[in-house]
Amino acid sequence: MNDNQFYLILNQKFGILPPDKYDQDWQWTCGKWEQTEDYITFYNDYFLLLNHHQKHDLINMIIQGFDEMFIECLDVDSTYRETVWNKIKTILTNDKQTHIKTIQYWSCLNQSLDDAFYVAKYMRELL
């Protein structure tokens, strides 16, 4: 799938506008935490059609959404979080070679967990 098709599908399914030339943080700002499971489904459904760059953007949208669950919605059931994490973990472990730098980034290895992303403790499990 080319990038235009990728962005068109994201726009049609989720209302996400494609990045413009100045949008360097697009994959961290475009998604909504409430749609994290939908992004996971999209990733899995289109896995064979996505190129490396698209997988990278999409997994960062997914992880950002998961991280925001801890910030935006403190009353989300911990069982639900674990279910979502297990889906993310499956993606990351099944395609670890593609996502190793993403795992390292979100792990915040040079910081204590108190100063890191909420998801850092989960990501560190994968290293």
Q: Is the pLDDT of residue 73 over 80?
A: no
Average pLDDT over residues 43-48: 96
pLDDT at 125: 96
> What DSSP string runs through 56-109?
HHHHHHHHHHHHHHHHH-TTS-HHHHHHHHHHHHHHHHHTHHHHHHHHHHHHTT
Six-digit token pair at 69?
């669950």
- Count up the domains in the chain and report the number: 1
Whether the pTM exceeds 0.85: the reply is yes
**What is the residue type of 5?**
Q
The answer to whether 84 touches 54, Cβ cutoff 8 Å, is no
Q: Would you say residue 21 lies in a domain?
A: no
Q: Would you say residue 24 lies in a domain?
A: no
Q: Would you say residue 113 lies in a domain?
A: yes
Q: Would you say residue 55 lies in a domain?
A: yes
Q: What is the pLDDT of residues 98-121, one digit of tens each?
A: 999 999 999 999 999 999 999 999
Query: Comparing 75 with 99, which gets the higher pLDDT?
Result: 99
Residue 74: pLDDT band with limits 50, 70, 90: low
Q: Would you say residue 22 lies in a domain?
A: no
Range in 18-22, 73-77, 97-101, 118-122 with the lowest mean pLDDT: 73-77
Domain containing residue 7:
3-12+36-124
Q: Would you say residue 106 lies in a domain?
A: yes
Q: Would you say residue 94 lies in a domain?
A: yes
pLDDT at 75: 67
